[in-house]
Structure 1
Amino acid sequence: MTITHKHVDEIFEYDGSQINPSWAFQEFGIYGSSIITWIGPVNITPDNLKDFADVGLEIKSNYMANFICEFFDQQPPNMRVAYLRQRLLVMIFREILSEYGIATKREGDDIFVDERKLSISIASVSLSSAKIHFALNLEDKGTPDDVDTIGLYDIKDNNNNQIFNEDNLVDLINKTVDRFIDEIETIEKDISKTKVLL
């Protein structure tokens, strides 16, 4: 499976509509499986909520790194596989944070640093594709009052220096996407070379 990654420099809001099928094709003319990344605020409107557990809750932030993944390799799309890939993406990002010396905790698809929520995510399927939205707070601003949050720019090293900033954020995004794509492609290769049990 070929997966196309496009990082969009333009800042725009994630309102939940981007999880709709074939959004990457409609917006950017990208055919097939893709990962679109960009920086922008998140404010999910009630009509675009996909998680029944989130109904009535605010999901918003002034400034986030957004990932929209879409996969067409399974027909019909499989919700279980979509969630497994979502968790794989989350775990890969935690692995990268650990390489920077950042301790994290995971609860399902949520990442926490110092007991503060860093990320949001959802996975779902349409009739034609599986979709994932994964987003990381950059600053602890504009988030719901009842959630203790943290942003990537708020994280400091042992010398109280900022670890992530505007200069290295896109590199962090690209590193995450590259590892995620490599993991999926490696799984495909392993499947193709493995003898089935008889």
Structure 2
Amino acid sequence: MTSGFRRIVETAFLPLPLDYTGAELRSHFVRERGRIEWDGVVAFVGACAVGGERLVDLEDAESGSEIVAERMLHFIGEHFQCGLREANARLRLFVSIAREALEDRASAARVDRRGDDLFVGERKLSVAICTATPVSAVFHFGVNVDPLGAPVPAIGLVELGVDAASFAREVLDRYAAECESIERALRKVRAVP
């Protein structure tokens, strides 16, 4: 980094396995685990098991759904001074970036984005949610690595021949660059009457 400059969004890939239970979707998790003091996203690989009171999606909670996968690549993002509408837009941007990166790596598979979820055919590849905390907006985007145990037809990165760690780093880098590009675009225009 050059002196006096920091990236608009900091990122970190956490190399040690870490399971996702839903408790990680909270303010300052990114700071605690990724040592990031600003807006940021951390990624890690681990099992996924979320149910009951930890489900943020009210429709899932009311229907008694669970989110389960043997291994998942998890991304947790946190943006300060960000409302829920902007957070949803940021999450969908993140998902779109992941889709592009996947299509570059798994060229034989057509990856479709439906809202904030990714699918290969009718098999679900990802889960996503964002919510507000008292100080920020946070999102979780999980991409199946091994979808064993998923309650719906699912597919994972292993079946697509995609390495989770290198894919994670690419998505993190692309998202940080996109956020920086947005900030630059905001600063290069003049006001109009």
TM-score over 0.5 for the alignment? yes
Gaps spanning 5+ residues in structure 1: where? 156-162
1:28–1:107 CA distance, 2 compared to 1 (3 A):
closer
Could you tell me which residue of structure 1 aligns to residue 40 of structure 2? 34
Conserved in 2, the CA contact under 8 Å of 1:140 and 1:154? no
Match of residue 137, structure 1, among 140, 144, 156 = 144
Match of residue 24, structure 1, among 27, 30, 35 = 30
Q: Does 1:193 align with 2:188?
A: yes
Conserved in 2, the CA contact under 8 Å of 1:103 and 1:113? yes
Which of the pair has the greater relative contact order for Cα pairs under 8 Å at 6+ separation?
Answer: 2
Give how far 1:60 is off. Answer: 1.0
Q: Does 1:49 align with 2:55?
A: yes
Give how far 1:27 is off. Answer: 4.0
* Fraction of identical pairs, as percent: 31
Conserved in 1, the CA contact under 8 Å of 2:145 and 2:164? no
Could you tell me which residue of structure 2 aligns to residue 86 of structure 1? 91
Could you tell me which residue of structure 2 aligns to residue 160 of structure 1? none
TM-score (norm. length: structure 2): 0.89
> Which amino acid in structure 1 is aligned with residue 31 of structure 2?
F
Gaps spanning 5+ residues in structure 2: where? 1-6
Conserved in 1, the CA contact under 8 Å of 2:119 and 2:125? yes
TM-score (norm. length: structure 1): 0.87
Q: Does 1:5 align with 2:11?
A: yes
Give how far 1:29 is off. Answer: 4.0
2:59 is paired with a residue of what secondary structure? helix
Could you tell me which residue of structure 2 aligns to residue 115 of structure 1? 122
Match of residue 79, structure 2, among 48, 63, 71 = 71
Q: Deviations over 1:49-76 (max 9, x none)?
A: 111111110111110000000112x2xx
Root mean square deviation of aligned Cα: 1.4
